[in-house]
Amino acid sequence: MVKKAITHLKLDQANPGKLQKLEELAAEYQRVAQAYVDWLITHEIHQPDKYIPVPEQDIPTRLSDRWQRCAWQQACGIVQSWTSNGRKNPPELHHVCIQANANVLVIEPSRTVQFDFWLRLSTLQAGHPVRIPIKLYRHAKETLSQFPKLCSGVTLNQRDGEWFATFVLDRRGPKA
């Protein structure tokens, strides 16, 4: 199976209210992911299991259980990388990077020509998701035609005040 990423999908078509909900979620997500990284290092768990129960009692949060699981899995990956690279200084999350799975973010095809996709994103308010529109650029459309199967995970990044999504696609068959 061959994987391909479509990066730098701007989220600039969303209205300010939706982006504010994303900002609120991102701030709490980053705080919790950093707390999980710190917790794992403090407890000297250098090869964490991302499927064990999340230490919710130690890190109070407004994140849903599903968002906490995403933050926990991301923290486990960060600590595993930190350990395997022999680093000494504990990792600090400076840039907002959210690794979302299908439990908290769903890619929906658009039914209009204005947008190509919508991201249905769970927020800090249970039962009140936001839908953020995505307009693909030309090269992204070409890549999607070659790799038509979208994976369910999406990465959301914020750089210089702008939000971007990354889609992962896969194509069955031998590697080139």
Which residue shows structure tokens 């992204």? 140
- Predicted model pTM: 0.92
Name the pLDDT band for 156 (thresholds 50, 70, 90). very high
- Is a pLDDT exceeding 80 seen at residue 39? yes
Q: Please state, as a whole number, how many other Cβ atoms lie within 10 Å of the Cβ of residue 129.
A: 17
Q: By percentage, how much of the chain surpasses pLDDT 70? A: 98
CB 1 within 8 A of CB 174: no
| 99-121: average pLDDT | 96
7's enclosing H/E stretch is strand 2-10
Give the Cα separation of 72 and 37 in Å (integer). 8
pLDDT of residue 172: 72
Most confident of 3-7, 77-81, 85-89: 77-81
pLDDT of residue 173 exceeding 80: no
